[in-house]
Amino acid sequence: MRDFDRIFDMAAARHGGKTALNAQLTPPETRENLAQVPEDRWLSTLTKCVFQAGFNWKVIEAKWDGFEAAFDGFDVGKCAMMDDEKFDALLRNPAIVRNGTKIATVRDNAAFLLDLRQDGGAGKVFGSWPSTDYIGLLDLLKTQGSRLGGSTAQYAMRFVGRDGFILSRDVTARLIAEGVIDKPATSKTALRAVQNAFNTWMDQSGRPLTEISRVLAMSL
**Residue-wise pLDDT tens digits, 176-185:** 999 999 999 9
Average pLDDT of every residue of the chain: 98
> For residues 63 and 95, what is the distance between their CA atoms, to the nearest angstrom?
6
> What are 65-122's pLDDT values in tens digits?
999 999 999 999 999 999 999 999 999 999 999 999 999 999 999 999 999 999 999 9
Structure confidence at residue 100 (pLDDT): 98
Structure confidence at residue 61 (pLDDT): 97
Distance from CA of residue 51 to its chain's centroid? 13
- Average pLDDT estimate for 207-212: 98
Structure confidence at residue 119 (pLDDT): 97
Domain locations in the chain?
Answer: 4-28+165-218, 32-147
Q: Name the CATH superfamily housing domain 32-147.
A: Hypothetical protein; domain 2 (1.10.340.30)
> What are 129-174's pLDDT values in tens digits?
999 999 999 999 999 999 999 899 999 999 999 999 999 999 999 9
Q: DSSP secondary-structure letter at 34? A: H
Work out the percent of the chain whose per-residue pLDDT is above 70.
Answer: 100
- Taking CA atoms, 179 is separated from 114, 151, 182, 184, in Å, by 41, 21, 7, 12
> For residues 156 and 154, what is the distance between their CA atoms, to the nearest angstrom?
5
* Helices marked H in the chain: 4-14, 18-23, 31-35, 39-52, 57-62, 64-70, 76-80, 84-91, 100-115, 122-128, 134-144, 150-160, 169-177, 188-205, 209-218
Amino acid, single-letter form, for residue 164: G
> For residues 21 and 11, what is the distance between their CA atoms, to the nearest angstrom?
7
- Average pLDDT estimate for 26-50: 98
Q: Answer whether 0.85 is exceeded by the pTM.
A: yes
Structure confidence at residue 118 (pLDDT): 98
* Long-range contacts at 58-65 (CB < 8 A, ≥ 24 apart): 59/97, 60/97, 63/95, 63/96, 63/97
Structure confidence at residue 106 (pLDDT): 98
> For residues 146 and 143, what is the distance between their CA atoms, to the nearest angstrom?
8
